[in-house]
């Protein structure tokens, strides 16, 4: 289970950040191709806007694009190393604000101040208690018609299957998990699900308005969720719509092929 302490140690001490996190976009042909082809189409309706809050930006892979869609961008990360990297990378941007938190707290964010909340490819490592705590605070941080888009784990959907896997002798487990039963989990939080996210929203007086359940680096398991939410009385509020998208990685393959075709010759893919 990726605890807050394990996440902090991983991103502050263990991970080298050789390509500023862009290495995780290689399946899409680079960070720019992933942003334009996969992320922006899912959130363009909510930007540009006034104030964006990005949770867990890492070395600024998505901050680099979000900063052009708002008047003010607040980034919060539990890793001091990541926040320092963002401060250096975006030193010329006067409208960015940076905070190191404890992995749960948003106390530094004023109430009723956020138009759009964003987190992608980071909170998939956050367990259910972290997600519940964040959502309970976001209910007060969002403006009345604010919207959030959070990429989180749905691995808990397969908890029973993974419980069976845990009973397999360790020397046999890797081969069986990878080739027969289940595919790699990419360090997803096993306690979190899309259903729990919807429940946590409801408890916090938020409305979950859309969830896209996707595979990630595998063919058959919907281990991730992209969840949209807004205050219950928001003009954006509606009944939750859930879509299961097992073609997500095929989408990545298509974007990767086109990224190389349409890239500027002098511009390196992923830069």
104 inside domain? yes
Q: What is the pLDDT, as a whole number, of residue 180?
A: 46
Per the domain annotation, does 174 fall within a domain? Answer: no
Higher-confidence position of 9 and 145 = 145
How many domains in the chain?
1
The answer to whether position 171 is within a domain reads: no
- The model's pLDDT over 203-253, given as tens digits with 9 standing for 90+, comes to 999 999 999 999 998 778 999 999 999 999 999 999 999 999 999 999 999
In the predicted model, is pLDDT for residue 136 greater than 50? yes
182 inside domain: no
Task: Give the model confidence (pLDDT) of 176-188 as tens digits.
Answer: 665 544 567 888 9
Enumerate the β-bridge partners of residue 207.
230
pTM over 0.75: yes
* Cα(223)–Cα(246) distance, integer angstroms: 10
Q: If pLDDT is split at 50, 70 and 90, which confidence band does 270 have? A: very low
Give 168 or 76, the one with higher predicted confidence: 76
Residue 108 is assigned to a structural domain of this protein: yes
Task: Give 112's contacts (C-beta < 8 A, 6+ positions apart).
Answer: 140, 141, 142, 143, 144
pLDDT of 162: 66
The residue range of the domain holding 222 is 4-154+187-262
What's the mean pLDDT in 132-155?
Answer: 98
Using one digit for the tens of pLDDT, what is the confidence trace for 184-203? 788 899 999 999 999 999 99
Which of 81, 85, 104 is closest to 12 using CA atoms? 81
Residue 227 counted as domain residue: yes
Query: Helices marked H in 95-227 — which ranges?
Result: 128-141, 159-166, 170-176, 194-203
The answer as to whether 110 is a domain residue is yes
**CA-CA-CA-CA torsion for 54, 247, 220, 239, nearest 10 degrees?**
60
Least confident range from 5-19, 135-149, 221-235, 245-259: namely 5-19
- Whichever domain contains 229, its CATH number is 3.40.50.150
Sheet containing strand 70-77, strands side by side: 96-100, 70-77, 49-55, 114-119, 142-153, 224-231, 206-214, 242-245
Q: Phi first, then psi: what are they for 92, rounded to 5°?
A: -85, -5
Higher-scoring residue by pLDDT: 87, 170: 87
In a domain, 163, yes or no: no
- Sign of the C-alpha dihedral computed for residues 61, 62, 66 and 68 taken in this order: positive
Closest CA to 49 of 130, 118, 126, 120: 118
Mean pLDDT, rounded, for 11-39 = 93
Strands (E), 2-100: 49-55, 70-77, 96-100
């Amino acid at each position: 289970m990726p605890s807050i302490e394990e996440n902090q140690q991983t991103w502050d001490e263990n991970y080298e950040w050789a390509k500023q996190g862009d290495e995780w976009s290689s399946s899409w042909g680079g960070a720019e191709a992933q942003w334009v082809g996969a992320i922006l189409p899912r959130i363009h309706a909510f930007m540009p806007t006034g104030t964006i809050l990005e949770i867990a930006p890492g070395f600024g892979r998505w901050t680099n694009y979000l900063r052009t869609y708002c008047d003010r961008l607040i980034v919060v990360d539990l890793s001091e190393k990541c926040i320092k990297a963002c401060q250096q990378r975006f030193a010329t941007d006067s409208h960015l604000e940076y905070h190191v938190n404890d992995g749960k707290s948003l106390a530094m964010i004023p109430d009723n101040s956020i138009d759009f909340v964003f987190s992608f490819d980071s909170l998939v490592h956050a367990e259910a208690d972290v997600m519940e705590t964040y959502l309970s605070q976001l209910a007060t941080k969002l403006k009345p018609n604010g919207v959030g888009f959070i990429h989180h784990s749905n691995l808990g959907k397969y908890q029973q299957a993974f419980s069976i896997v845990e009973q397999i002798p360790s020397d046999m487990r890797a081969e069986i998990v990878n080739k027969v039963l289940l595919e790699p989990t990419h360090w997803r939080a096993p306690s979190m699900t899309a259903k729990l996210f919807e429940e946590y929203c409801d408890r916090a007086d938020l409305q979950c308005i859309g969830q896209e359940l996707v595979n990630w680096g595998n063919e058959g398991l919907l281990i991730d969720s992209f969840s949209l939410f807004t205050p219950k009385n928001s003009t954006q509020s509606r009944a939750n719509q859930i879509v299961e998208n097992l073609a997500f990685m095929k989408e990545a393959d298509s974007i990767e092929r086109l990224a190389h075709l349409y890239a500027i010759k002098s511009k390196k893919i992923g830069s």
